[in-house]
Every structure is written in structure tokens, then in C-alpha cells.
Structure 1
Amino acid sequence: MTEIDTQETGNRFDEAFERIKKSTGMRTQVEIAKLLDIRQSSISDAKRRQSIPDSWLIKLYQIYNLNPNWIIDGESPQFLGEQRGGALSVRDAGDVYGRKPKHYQAPVCAMSLSPQSQGGWTETPVETVTVPEQFHRPSLLVVRMDESDMEPLIGRGALVGIDKERKTIRSGGLYALDMPVEGLVIKRLLHDAENGRFLLRSDNPAFMDQTIAADAVVERVIGRVAWVFQEI
């Protein structure tokens, strides 16, 4: 997927950006950057290129149901609803203006072991991120991926949301585990019943499988991966 080029029909970045601000209730570039989970400099870069990145359009649709064509060209309808019965329904603007979607500030923890760690990995916040209501939950843990072992599914630098209440292991699922020396790792757990163990598999074939005894894996599991935020 490539960025939508607005140069073909003239300089409309400012108009598109104004539509984003008005429809989200945000007033400044700082607020928009937090909402989109991007650096403020990314907005300046997009303005210089006169191009609205697809990743912005996708996130604005996911949070507000904003029509990408409306953002770019002002083309109606402004809001798109969920697809039901094979037809795309239009969402009433009052649904958004009557109840503005909530956002939560969540700490982002490092995956590496803290120098003060005595008995394993501990939650050590290093930054914060704005999380839309539908992705937030009381049991949420957010980390920033610091390795490339789960690429291409989860790239280095991606934000990963982990549900700490979901510890029931399903073979093939993605889980965060507290591993000695390594700290927190994210792996695909595969049950090897014949040998009484679990395989810790990376999606990146350059990394070899690890193993852990079946009776020891439960105490290592922090939670199951619920979502991933990253550039595409």
C-alpha cells in the first residue's frame, strides 16, 4: 500500500489536515501526533510531501470511522459504518459528536531486564502511548518490540498490547513470557505433547526454536498478545 498523493489535484494537505482536526476535536499538531502515535516531525514531513500517509487514514477509520476519501477530497459521506449484510452503512455524525471516543494514556514498558531486577522481568515504564478505548482494558500491558525475531508479523519498534488476564495457553498463539537472562520475550507457543514441552517459535526463520517444559511454562507466561500497532 502506498501513500495517497494529493499533488495530482493541487495542494490540499492543509485542507485535509483541517478536516482531521475538526472531526477528531484535536486542535494542535502535538495532539494529532499523540492520537496517531507518530512523531510531530512526521506531520511536517507529510506536509512537505503534500501527502497523507495511508497509516493515518487507517487509524482514523479504525477510531472514528472517518471516510478516507472525505479526509483527502471532502467526498461524502464523512463517516463509514461497519459492513453488515454485504453493504457498507453510513455512520451518523451524531454518533461521533454525541460521544467522543475515549483515549487512555498507557505506560510503555521495556522488554529488557531492569538493572534492579532480582527475580526476573518487571514492568519498567520508559514512555507513554495514547490507546483508543476499544484497545484498552484494565489488564493491558504495552511494550515496544526490541528485536526482529517476530518479523514480519511484529516488526522491531512496534507497540504490542498484551492482555495479562489471558494466560490460558492455546497452541499456536502469541504470548509474552518472562525468560531468564532475556527478560520479556514474545513467541508463538506450540505444544509438543509427545515430549511434554512447549516450543517457543519465532516467526522470523533466522531464529531457532527454544523449548520449555510443559509444567514450567505457566509460571513464565505474562499474557497473550492482543494487538500490535506499527507502520505498514
Structure 2
Amino acid sequence: MPKKKRKCDEAQLKWFEDAMERIKKATGARTQVQLAEVLDVRQSSISDAKRRCSIPADWFLKLYRSHGLDPDWLAEGVEPVYINAEKAKIPADTLLREAPAPYGRLNSRGRVVPVSTMAGADKDAEAWEPKPMEEISMPESFCRPRLQVVKVDSASMEPVIAKGAFVGIDCERRDHPDGDLCAVHFPHQGLTIRRVYMQGDTFLLKAENEKYSDLTIPASEMDERTVGRVIWVLQNLAAL
């Protein structure tokens, strides 16, 4: 009597699919044929690996030698992406910006990131530095290489951004398109989030809440005091 083939459980299948997706992204292989060429194996070997939900260890070694990839990142998604970045075919930043998976899918990805206070590590410092106080889990697609998450402690941007909301700031985006939300540092006060408008040789930082005054900053100081652009807001739309 033939033996029954052992089926992968959900956890094994998710691990395998996530790891194979990282391999495909890092090598640019879109099909099983292309992947077999990159790994220098037969297509049947990839089918066998999928059936077992297991990736041979020598595949990780080959990918390190050919692409400089870190086996820990390939297997578990633990950064850094590369051990030898000189062999990289695709920039690490691009690989870390993974496309979102549909809601409820088994292979949906998430990441736990630190959340800082608006005041930062030292409110009186010339430059703002984060002070982590808690963590939050979010979709992988919400993350950026230089993402900073803060918890809003002011009602100045209500109703657009409520007090207590979590705000994602991309610290690589420090330009100031009129009307966009920017995070700007004020010494002795901490971080402020406002809509930014350029007016001659000054920038107007406008509050949404009429109870709060608008602020101004000399244009010559704006680049130095800008922490980044707001790219997303996570908040409740109704009282719990």
C-alpha cells in the first residue's frame, strides 16, 4: 500500500511562500523556469520543494554567492537583505517595499515598529530625535526604509488627525509641496504636524483646528527643521 504524502500545515506553507517570494523579488525571477535558471536546478526540484514546503540549504548558499543575499533575510525576513551588497541586483530599499497582499490572505505581511512621543528624546535639543514609548503592528506596505511613527498628543489637526492617532512620517521625503502634511521640529516644544504653505521668504504651518494658531518658519530654516512628510494616519473614526 503506497504511503500517504504528508501535507504542509498552514504555518509551513506560509513560511515557504514568504521565503520563495523574497527569493523571486531579490533575483528578478518571475517564472519557475527563470527561478530554476537562477538556482541552477531542474524545474522539478522547485516543484518538489513546494510539495515539501522546504527550501534546500544549498539554495541559500547559492544565492549568497551569486547575489550576496543574507540567508536569514531569505528564510525569515530578518534584515539586512545583503551580506555582500556589491553583488546586489536590486536595491535593498526596493525589496523592503513589498506590495500589499489582499486582506485576509494567508501570506499577508506585517511588521512591528516603534512608536515615539511627539516631544522626542530631548525637547530642548536643536534637532528632533525619536523616543520610543510603545510598538505597533502594521501592514508591510505601510513601511519605508526611514519610517518614523509618532503618537499625536495635540488636537491642532482635528478632525483630519485626531489626538491619540498614530502617524507615519517618511523621513526621506523632506520637500514641502503646498498643502501637504509635514512634521516640523520646534525647539522646546517638540514635533508639530501641520499643512505647509510657502509665502515669500517664510513657510506658513496651518492648523486644521480653528482653536489653534497658525505658525511660521523662515524659509532658510525649513529644511533643517523638517523631519519628514506624513504618509499615513491610523486612528479611530468613532469613539470606542
Which range, TM-score by smaller chain? 0.5 to 0.7
Aligned residue for 1:108? 115
Q: Is the 8 A contact 1:142 1:161 kept in 2?
A: yes
* Structure 2: tracts of 5 or more residues without a match: 1-13, 15-99
Give the drift of 1:156. 0.3
Aligned residue for 1:206? 211
Q: Separation in 1 of the partners of 2:175 and 2:140? A: 24
Q: Is the 8 A contact 2:127 2:225 kept in 1?
A: no
Spell out the pairing of 1:161-172 with structure 2 (5 A cutoff): 161-172=168-179
* CA shift in 2, pair 1:189/1:134, >3 Å: same
Q: Is the 8 A contact 1:113 1:183 kept in 2?
A: yes
Structure 1 vs Structure 2 CA RMSD: 1.9
Aligned residue for 1:147? 154
**Equivalent in 65, 71, 78 of residue 103 of structure 2:** 65
TM-score when normalising by structure 1: 0.56
Aligned residue for 1:180? 187
Spell out the pairing of 1:1-232 with structure 2 (5 A cutoff): 64-65=102-103, 96-97=105-106, 100-115=107-122, 118-193=125-200, 196-232=201-237
Q: For 1:123, what is the secondary structure of its paired residue? A: coil
Q: Say how many residue pairs are matched.
A: 139
Q: Separation in 1 of the partners of 2:215 and 2:138? A: 32
Give the drift of 1:169. 1.1
Structure number with larger C-alpha Rg:
2
Q: For 2:224, what is the secondary structure of its paired residue? A: coil
* Structure 1: tracts of 5 or more residues without a match: 1-24, 26-61, 67-95
Q: Separation in 1 of the partners of 2:123 and 2:186? A: 16
Q: Separation in 1 of the partners of 2:182 and 2:202? A: 15
Give the drift of 1:215. 1.2
1:49-108 Cα shifts (integer Å, max 9, x gaps): xxxxxxxxxxxxx97435xxxxxxxxxxxxxxxxxxxxxxxxxxxxx33xx111111000
Q: Which amino acid aligns with 1:173?
A: D
* Structure with the bigger percentage of strand: 1
Aligned residue for 1:72? none
Q: For 1:130, what is the secondary structure of its paired residue? A: strand
Give the drift of 1:115. 4.8
